[in-house]
Structure 1
């Protein structure tokens, strides 16, 4: 496979990482400051902490996606390395989902105080999207593992 065949995907992964970094540096502090002023009951702090904590597995998953694209470039897509990368992406997605799901009770308290029931639905977007990504990674991991097993069985037959 050509070396630049996944260049657009690698650029997209890099730009997503930059966008989340910019949001973490510039966006979250402004939003947190406004939320803390509006809700001084300290319900905002766990949400902000979870948002920053979720950035760690997010960047680990992005790095694994970047490595997976590198494996595809080197024609090593059907290898145990790819299976391991997908496994790590799955675990990172589950971690992100759990961190954001842990914030839902605090979002409920804020929504109850502000009489904004839609806030809970907005807060469920990231956990649900992360679970979808985890399921997708698990399915790909299983399919890739089966393909590797079939390939090794065929290699032994010939």
Structure 2
């Protein structure tokens, strides 16, 4: 997980606060599974690439045929027992879309609104834009993201848990 969070923090650190809203819209409005296992991204990609090559998938046409045999998606299991879902991406050159499987080993479910809030707080903290008590800062950021306000920190455990994973200092202020 450490590898993935540092990559995420690096990408976020490149954003200006004004770019945050647009970047976070890509997270959607539902739930997602986040991988928390010990494999780093190059290892994940290499293991998936090896499995696809073993299945005879060497190009986009092969990949489309591979997915067609299983209803438009595929599943691979990696060395750490995590399950990954493969779909066809819209990009012509990078045509493999993958994400952790639902309830797969080494994953956890996260609500998009909680993740957006935690990421917005992390960016704000990096730019010294957190100004008041944690609940006030979170609600100001949620308003900017067009999310409903939080009533209390005690009822926001999911957000605080994600903030803690991101290494947000304010996540311990309950």
> TM above 0.5, one fold?
no
TM-score normalised to structure 1 length: 0.30
- Structure with greater strand percent: 2
TM-score normalised to structure 2 length: 0.28
- Structure with greater helix percent: 1
